[in-house]
Structure 1
């Protein structure tokens, strides 16, 4: 048995091959281009790599062109956490020396000694991987949009509180097209106070508003003309220019999030698992795509539902030493899936009578805090999702929550 370790870098990579006894068979320094990839594949073929019996590879990343080349065929690629690789390095040298060829050798030896303790990259379909790219990008764009909106809100509190009061009743607040159009039209409170009802109506129409334009324009004019404290004129103008710069970033972030959301809505329904995922209460297209992106469609990835629950961070973890024992929530988990699970459980409480009854039972009978009760609900529902995906069945309320529904009745 031959094992391969690759120390990944931006421009070049170091490769090491070892056998069952740990003897170094070969090492190479390759470039991150097509020529380097061909040299790597030729080296693996020289030491017995075939289509039916490929050599397993350990590398410290799970993405990139090099990983895509290695994942072709039946080859198992193991993405080793850099922290885990650092711990393994101490087994070979107590002097704490470090080199790129040495790290490649450490990665190869990780597979030689403990390959059973590490999980290979899942064998997901190309469509599932494409959905994962879009869903994660949309999630990042949403987070980036909220970050910029928070920065803009913090700036407006310093000199423009009237506009914050004006958009307070709108969902999504500063991210709405009406709010962005209003700020573009009047970047300072002094200019906002001079806006007429006709100008406000035109701004609302440009933002795409269809109903209640006259009443909304009247409300905005009353708020913007109310009595507020002002910064000195020069300072106010400078803050207005700073606000416009942030507004450009916010508009770009909103456009990116919307475009990626449309791409997700187009790609996710094409997946065979989409119908099952969308049958669960609380899961829409965007949130369902995020769940699929993290769990994939490789049915052999998780041995049972408990493995998926631990991966999602919803199941508790027990820490015991001597006479001391504690049960706490997991800190090492898939953060994206855990975040999607929090939103999923929150939505399911209102979308499913059984989920709401389960949540209330955790709050009332077990004295759980809100987050703990939601995490318990997510733990149960993601286990049900695993079973439905394995059996190719849709979600059934009576099967999922028979006890809770009977108690609620």
Structure 2
């Protein structure tokens, strides 16, 4: 889009740096401004008086106040993602990376290549709440992985057979709670099979007796005691307590995310597409945001990293590969949704056709996910739910 003034704002924690350029690319203003409402409002008013636009390097977080002020003042604000920003910086003189240079690059890219900028739309209150819940759940998932790895490392270093007996059950809150009670081989030996089995049953663990027997046999297989085993047992108890609390909070958070998801007007539309439930629907809704950001399904597919990437050079190289770029969270959600939809007739037919063409499983699912993006874009753009076709049509 054409504007009289382009303002690039390099976002910081305590202050931002802004550079304004005119339609010819000449710098007409640059300043450091505090990250507070008064200073940012002055900048927004200045931009509005000159019929300008604002471009930032963050689409939320520390840029939240500036985004809201721009939307309230009807000033268009865009976002240039990190990879595009890094590549654009290489076209400007010098190897330095400074706030003034980054702000100038943002403004000049918006002037010269406006199609590279994602123009942001206001976010509804329901979507903002869902985004916070999904972000918190991602943090808790990372905490759970960290605690699980630390707990497993401690057990493996002192009772390796017992760690193998735990297997992949450390993602169960009930199992983790019992490990907190009996954190070592000697503790399991002393308690015995019946007591450990009763503790597992109390936590409603599946196949509690068999699991208790496996743990007891693994504990009995080791007769030596390493130095520091007593302290390791104490730390395992502490880690298990923390991990159980994180898993418990994630279970509660799942219900909150589901409730917040169904507060969205597009929730029923997303869930009508086979393979999409509340959790995947919540992630897809948060990552897509406003569907008006994407004029065509191809733009949405490219944003999700599902667009094919051709590699061609002379006659020796001519192939098409999947891109490694794009929004990985959205790509993962769309991939899982496509995989879950394989029980659906049309989806299975398309998947089988791609397999017959020689595609591997993951490639066929990616092709299906890309095909479903066309349907998803049409559903969200038109506000209609999915309706299965009456008859299957041959799709290339």
TM-score, structure 2 length as denominator? 0.86
Q: CA deviation at 1:113?
A: 1.8
Seen in structure 2, the aligned counterparts of structure 1 residues 279 and 158 have a Cα distance that, compared at 3 Å, is: same
Q: Which residue of 1 aligns with 2:265?
A: 272
Residue of 3, 8, 14 corresponding to 1:5: 8
Q: Which residue of 1 aligns with 2:115?
A: 116
Moved more, 233-242 or 11-20: 233-242
- Matches for 1:15-54 after TM superposition, within 5 Å: 15-32=18-35, 34=36, 37-46=37-46, 49=48
Contact persistence 1:78–1:119 (CA under 8 A): yes
- Matches for 1:5-404 after TM superposition, within 5 Å: 5-32=8-35, 34=36, 37-46=37-46, 49=48, 55-71=52-68, 72-73=71-72, 74-93=74-93, 95-161=94-160, 163-164=162-163, 167-168=166-167, 173-196=169-192, 199-200=195-196, 202-204=198-200, 206-207=202-203, 209=204, 216-217=208-209, 220-221=212-213, 223-225=215-217, 227-296=220-289, 298-323=290-315, 324-349=317-342, 351-363=343-355, 365-398=356-389, 402-403=393-394
Q: CA deviation at 1:188?
A: 0.7
Q: Distance in 2 between matches of 1:92 and 1:218?
A: 66
Seen in structure 2, the aligned counterparts of structure 1 residues 399 and 223 have a Cα distance that, compared at 3 Å, is: same
Moved more, 191-200 or 374-383: 191-200
Secondary structure of the residue aligned to 2:357 is coil
| Deviation sequence 1:207-249 (CA, Å, 0-9, x none) | 2x29x8xx73475146414641344254432332342343244
Seen in structure 2, the aligned counterparts of structure 1 residues 393 and 355 have a Cα distance that, compared at 3 Å, is: same
Q: Distance in 1 between matches of 2:318 and 2:309?
A: 11
TM-score, structure 1 length as denominator? 0.84
Q: Distance in 1 between matches of 2:299 and 2:182?
A: 54
Q: Distance in 1 between matches of 2:195 and 2:51?
A: 69
Q: Distance in 2 between matches of 1:219 and 1:182?
A: 11
Contact persistence 1:11–1:31 (CA under 8 A): yes
Contact persistence 1:355–1:401 (CA under 8 A): no
Q: CA deviation at 1:5?
A: 1.3
Q: Distance in 2 between matches of 1:322 and 1:222?
A: 61
Contact persistence 1:384–1:400 (CA under 8 A): no
Any gaps of 5 or more consecutive residues in structure 2?
none
Seen in structure 2, the aligned counterparts of structure 1 residues 307 and 100 have a Cα distance that, compared at 3 Å, is: closer
Q: CA deviation at 1:186?
A: 0.9
Any gaps of 5 or more consecutive residues in structure 1?
405-409
Q: CA deviation at 1:151?
A: 4.0
Q: CA deviation at 1:199?
A: 3.1
Q: CA deviation at 1:292?
A: 0.9
